[in-house]
C-alpha cells in the first residue's frame, strides 16, 4: 500500500537536548510515507548538550517544502532567540507547513519568531511562564494543540507529542500501532516527574540549582519580546 510522502523537518542547533529531537524522530520514522529532514545552517556535525554529535542532512538554503516543522529545545535555545538567520528560516519554512510544532523550550524559539502570538502552547515546566513574554498563552499540559500549532512539554514529552502529531497526520489507528511497536509503556521508578508530583523540598532544590540558567533564558526571552513588540503578527 502506497502512502503520501510527508516531509517532516527537525531543526538542529548546538546545545540542543538530543531526546527532544530523537524521541520524536523514533515516532516520526515509523510513520508510513515519512521523509525526515535534519536541518541546520551548515552540514557540519552538531554537538548536543550532553555531547552526542548529530549530522544534519540539509541546510536552510536547500531545505525542501515541509509538511511539519519541529523545533526542539535545550540550552542552545538561548542563543537562537537572537539568531536572525535561524528565526527568519523558521518563519519562511512555516508559511507552508500543515503543522508548526515544538518540544520543550523549542516553543520559546517559535515564540521568538512571532509564530505563537495568541496561541496556546507548553514548554518545560521551569520556563513555561516565559512563553507569555513574546505573546504565547502558556498552558501547563504535556501536549498542547491550538489550531495548527502543537507543542510538547519537557524532554520526555516528545514521544507523547510525536504520537499526537502522527494521529493528526494519519489517524488514531496509525498512532496507536506505532505506540505499540515502540512498547511505549512508561513505568518510572519515582513519582516525581513534574512539579505537581515532586516533593516540595526536591522541587525547591532543583529550582535553586537551575536558577542562574533560567534567568539567562528569561533575559533572552525578554529581548525577543522587545524585538517583536512593534510587529503585528496575523492570526489565522
**What residues are annotated to the active site?**
104
Q: Which of 190, 95, 196 is CA-nearest to residue 140?
A: 196
Cell numbers for 164 = 499526537
Cα radius of gyration (the chain): 17
With beta carbons less than 8 A apart as the criterion, state whether 108 and 20 touch: no
Distance CA 123, CA 125 (A): 6
Distance CA 183, CA 158 (A): 15
With beta carbons less than 8 A apart as the criterion, state whether 53 and 46 touch: yes
Q: Please state the φ and ψ torsions of residue 10, each to the nearest 5 degrees.
A: -125, 130
Distance CA 177, CA 192 (A): 29
Torsion of CA 78, 81, 82, 85, to 10 degrees: 120
**Residue 178 vs residues 30, 175, 193, 209: alpha-carbon distances, Å:** 7, 5, 24, 37
Amino acid at each position: 500500500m502506497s502512502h503520501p510522502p510527508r516531509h517532516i523537518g527537525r531543526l538542529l542547533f548546538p546545545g540542543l537536548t538530543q531526546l527532544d529531537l530523537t524521541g520524536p524522530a523514533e515516532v516520526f520514522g515509523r510513520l508510513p510515507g515519512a521523509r525526515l529532514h535534519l536541518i541546520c545552517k551548515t552540514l557540519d556535525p552538531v554537538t548536543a548538550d550532553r555531547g552526542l554529535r548529530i549530522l544534519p542532512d540539509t541546510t536552510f538554503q536547500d531545505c525542501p517544502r515541509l509538511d511539519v516543522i519541529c523545533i526542539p529545545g535545550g540550552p542552545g535555545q538561548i542563543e537562537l532567540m537572537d539568531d536572525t538567520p535561524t528565526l527568519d528560516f523558521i518563519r519562511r519554512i512555516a508559511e507552508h507547513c500543515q503543522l508548526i510544532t515544538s518540544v520543550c523550550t523549542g516553543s520559546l524559539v517559535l515564540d521568538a519568531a512571532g509564530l505563537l502570538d495568541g496561541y496556546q502552547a507548553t514548554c518545560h515546566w521551569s520556563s513555561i511562564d516565559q512563553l507569555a513574554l513574546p505573546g504565547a498563552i502558556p498552558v501547563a499540559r504535556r501536549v498542547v494543540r491550538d489550531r495548527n500549532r502543537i507543542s510538547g512539554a519537557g524532554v520526555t514529552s516528545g514521544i507523547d507529542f510525536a504520537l499526537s502529531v502522527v494521529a493528526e497526520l494519519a489517524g488514531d489507528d496509525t498512532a496507536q500501532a506505532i505506540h505499540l511497536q515502540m512498547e511505549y509503556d512508561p513505568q518510572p521508578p519515582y513519582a516525581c516527574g513534574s512539579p505537581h508530583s515532586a516533593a516540595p523540598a526536591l522541587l525547591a532544590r532543583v529550582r535553586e540549582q537551575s536558577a542562574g540558567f533560567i534567568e539567562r533564558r528569561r533575559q533572552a526571552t525578554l529581548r525577543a519580546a522587545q524585538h517583536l513588540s512593534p510587529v503585528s503578527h496575523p492570526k489565522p
